[in-house]
Amino acid sequence: MLGRLLLSRGYHSTKGVFGNRARSSTRYEGLSAAVLEKRNANSNVYRWVEAYRNHGHRIATIDPVLFQPSADAGSSKGLPELQYTRYGLGAGDRIDPRGLLNVPASQQPLSMVELDALLARMYCGSCSIELGFIESEQEREWLAGRYEQLFQHELTVGERREIAELMLKSQAFDQFLAVKFPTVKRYGGEGAESMMAFYWELFRCAGEHELRNVVIGMPHRGKLNVLTTMFGTRPAKIFKKFKGYPEFPADAQAMCDIASHFHTSTDITVGGKTFHLNMLHNPSHLEAVNPVSMGKARAKQLALADGPYDRQGQFDRSKVLNVQVHGDAAFPGQGINQECLMMANVPHYEVEGTVHLIVNNQVGFTTPAERGRSTRYVSDLAKAIMAPVVHVNGDDPEALAAVTKIAIEYRQTFGKDFFIDLNCFRRWGHNELDDPTMTNPLLYKVIHARQSIPDLYAQKLIEAGVFDRQDVDAISKSHQNYLTAELQAHEQYEPERSYFGKQWAGLQQPGDEVTVWNTGVDYRLLSHIGQESVKLPDGFNVHPHLQKTHIDARRKRLAEGQRIDWATAEALAIGSLMYQGFNVRLSGEDVGRGTFSQRHAMLVDQQTNEIFIPLNAMAEGTPNAGRFELANSILSEEAVLGFEYGMAIDSPNSLVLWEAQFGDFFNGAQIIIDTFLVSGETKWMLCNGLVMLLPHGFDGAASEHSSCRMERFLQMTDSRETSPDGDTVNLQIINPSTPAQYFHALRRQMIRNFRKPLVVVAPKTLLRLSDCVSPHSAFAPGTHFQPVLSDPEHGDRVDPKRVRRVVLCSGKHYYTLQSERKSRQVGDVALVRVESLCPFPVQAIRDELAKYPNAREFVWSQEEHRNMGAWTFVQPRFENMCERRIQYRGRPEAATVAVGVSQWHVREAEDVIKTTLY
């Protein structure tokens, strides 16, 4: 029972929740009586067969560049477990292998020598499978059977010619670039041209299985080869980029990127069947694209109501396939890969199986394989999720094609990941201008002495009579001529407008001004949404504490309508967007409950463990309403945020939110933030409306749970210091101080006709602070997010003419200052809240300053240390554009975010308040 529980990937809900469905699986009735009888009768032979299945890979001839070859490679003599004498078998024994191996029904009995040769060819040749770590008998039997069938079929003459032609074209492309662009780093495919056979079979299988979308994440190695040879990208586009021209039209607000980061989005037709292919842009930070490809694949499933979103049982398996291509040094070396694998079977993150290809160069940058990891194989991470692994020699593209077919079939059958470890080599160094012999002389002595993979395969086909030398030369010459024509045409090539089409139609890049959007909603509808957000089905056993503090308290707040708190405002924003047809996805650790037990959008029956999401129950009775997906994530930041970014770039009509458990945890996802979130639009014209919720605030929790390091995000924006910002800024950053402001900010993300990522400096203590509430009028039609909030005591306790000091502050800090000002009855200090940090609200601040004509002191006050927080961002903008000097009040410079001694914390906080107000 325990084992079944540990391996179960079901949600703890028999009724299901949006974004998760029970996995369909093939029916398995166990081994037939005939097979069991045969194995029992030949138990020693079967033990020997299983030894080959489990250990044959250890001596398989999968390395095309052994510079220290083993004399026993490919022979059972080198491994005691594979010697049949060990199992009491003799050379004179003859065995009928049917029932023991997957062999033709006509197979005659074999001698031990013949059976040994057959097993060695299957499991110790140019490809070999690992099966021993897979627990499921059904999967092991299926894999062994399909794998052993490989050796009973050969490709047709036409199929072999197609593979050879693709590989020769890939080689011709690299050779052409070497001549025409000798100083350009192209990260070519030389040494790994057999990956063309992988894509060739992948496309054929996509057609056979009637897939709708194939989403590929791939690094730079060989990317230009597959783009131009197989994916329909014109070489003229690449050549124009190499000549120093941009890849986007002149009116695109883009800084562009290097050619080896290019993408494609195109329809592919194979065998009369068409599917859509997406190969994503990748940054130079290897493997970072992998979770993004998973998120984009998941978004495609959402759009098709497919896979985990298929509530009608339309498909047995998802019609969207995720493919990830890895490098041999990066796959075991980058922790993001473990994070991705840990998401592979988790509800709300699974994509029903990914096919992985590891392009195993056997050297990373300059690091030899034996120093690049501590495992036998680069693929050993796959064993953590019991994903099958097949190792293939790059010199055998036919085996690679056959294994690719198995990979797709396995994924379509079981909905799980599959790994192909393609052992090949890198003809040159890290790039074509790098000399690898300085650090790997013996390896490259072998590489430089051997034939290229395409030439070797072409020679094999010539010897088999499939080709003659003239055919081979003609293929290379024809492709060289095509490339020459494309090079000559590069000046006439006009970059295509590949953005704001299909689901992005109607959206655009914003103008150079800050726009205001009416995000208010009639309170009668909001009150209904709020009531529905805590409505439970009959017989649901809610936690008694939540009944009082969450459900009853929310109903009371809604009835009064004057003290709407943060969690309620969030529910109103999400529910109202759902009413308008937008989907909402909230992802992160424990987001259903909320880190601070404030949200409770996902309730759990205390007796049955059933999950219930009230807002989705509301949506089921509302025509055309969106759905709310609550994705409680694994303990990951980098892969999860990458996944959500992938969702956001493909789903402009979904509000995608990622919440850090505490704001400082975003730094675990810094790679995704740097290379995708803040720069994806300017590099690749990929817009996204992803929202990051980062709980922030100094409350004595010491350094790791006090700050979301807003200064880092502010530094990453392209905000200007000397002229006003517009909506064009790459990243919007707010520190809202009221529930209504948060409500409007979330709704604004979807109501606008453009998409920009949003960082919310989110609250902790404000979630339950009695003063941090909003009246229903703040949500009414005609209201909107306000970049600056006026002093609420303006003209009341604070006489504008008597104000000598105007204090600008942000977020939670306002309430601390206001409490002190009120208790001490300070009447000559105004408190102005800057809710939007970026875009920096110059005009709104000017309007506030104009209210205090006699003010002579202007202060920025913050909880954070001087070298942190918003100070260094605010100061130059305020002084340059508001034309006044501004003083700093806050903690002094420090190396860590916050002190770890409570008495010091209290003393610092008191000092900040005093120096600000007095």
Q: pLDDT category, 316, cuts 50, 70, 90?
A: confident
The residue extents of the domains of the chain are: 41-126, 157-495, 523-779, 789-917
Share of the chain above pLDDT 90, in %: 89
What would the mean pLDDT of 385-407 be, rounded to a whole number? Answer: 98
CA 741, 742, 748, 751 torsion-angle sign: negative
Question: How many angstroms separate the CA atoms of 653 and 299, rounded?
Answer: 11
The per-residue pLDDT for 728 is 96
DSSP string, 762-798: E-SGGGT-TT--B-GGGGSTT----SEE--TTBTTTB
Task: Give the long-range contacts of residues 78-86, CB within 8 A, separation 24 or more.
Answer: 79/55, 81/51, 81/54, 81/55, 82/48, 82/51, 82/52, 82/55, 82/56, 82/119, 82/120, 82/124, 84/48, 84/112, 84/115, 84/116, 86/48
Phi, psi of 300 (to 5 degrees): -65, -40
The per-residue pLDDT for 73 is 58
What would the mean pLDDT of 127-133 be, rounded to a whole number? Answer: 95
Q: pLDDT category, 433, cuts 50, 70, 90?
A: confident
Judging by DSSP bridges, how do beta strands 264-270 and 273-279 pair with one another? antiparallel
Residue 5 in this model has a pLDDT that exceeds 50: no
Residue 94 in this model has a pLDDT that exceeds 50: yes
Share of the chain above pLDDT 70, in %: 97
Residue 450 in this model has a pLDDT that exceeds 90: yes
Domains 157-495 and 523-779 share a fold: yes
The per-residue pLDDT for 9 is 52
Are 170 and 419 in contact by the 8 Å Cβ rule? The answer is no
The per-residue pLDDT for 372 is 87
Pick the CATH number of 157-495 from 3.40.1080.10, 3.40.50.970, 3.40.50.261, 3.40.190.10: 3.40.50.970
- Spell out the CATH class of 523-779: alpha beta
The per-residue pLDDT for 4 is 38
The per-residue pLDDT for 77 is 67
CA distances from 170 to 230, 231, 277, 452, 483 (A): 9, 12, 20, 11, 11
Q: pLDDT category, 22, cuts 50, 70, 90?
A: confident
Q: Which of 566, 595, 559, 593 is nearest to 768 (CA)?
A: 566
What would the mean pLDDT of 817-832 be, rounded to a whole number? Answer: 96
What would the mean pLDDT of 5-29 be, rounded to a whole number? Answer: 71
The per-residue pLDDT for 6 is 41
Q: pLDDT category, 1, cuts 50, 70, 90?
A: very low
Are 904 and 874 in contact by the 8 Å Cβ rule? The answer is no
The per-residue pLDDT for 69 is 58
Question: How many angstroms separate the CA atoms of 396 and 394, rounded?
Answer: 5
The per-residue pLDDT for 16 is 77
The per-residue pLDDT for 212 is 97
Q: Worst-scoring range by mean pLDDT, 366-380, 517-531, 758-772?
A: 366-380
765-812 pLDDT, tens digit per residue, is 999 999 999 999 999 999 999 999 999 998 888 999 999 999 999 999
Q: Worst-scoring range by mean pLDDT, 25-34, 436-445, 630-639?
A: 25-34
Please give the model's pTM, rounded to 2 decimal places: 0.96
Pick the CATH number of 789-917 from 3.40.50.11610, 3.40.50.1700, 3.40.50.300, 3.30.200.20: 3.40.50.11610
192-236 pLDDT, tens digit per residue, is 999 999 999 999 999 999 999 999 999 999 999 999 999 999 999
Residue 71 in this model has a pLDDT that exceeds 90: no
Question: How many angstroms separate the CA atoms of 230 and 247, rounded?
Answer: 20
Question: How many angstroms separate the CA atoms of 297 and 295, rounded?
Answer: 5
Q: E strands, 639-757, where?
A: 654-659, 691-695, 732-734
CA distances from 331 to 335, 360, 370, 436 (A): 8, 10, 14, 21
Residue 75 in this model has a pLDDT that exceeds 90: no
What would the mean pLDDT of 383-388 be, rounded to a whole number? Answer: 97
Q: Which residue matches tokens 């000091």?
A: 805
What would the mean pLDDT of 855-878 be, rounded to a whole number? Answer: 98
- Mean pLDDT score across all residues of the chain: 94
The terminus-to-terminus CA distance of the chain in angstroms comes to 67
Q: Which of 837, 775, 784 is nearest to 808 (CA)?
A: 837
Q: Which of 343, 338, 329 is nearest to 374 (CA)?
A: 329
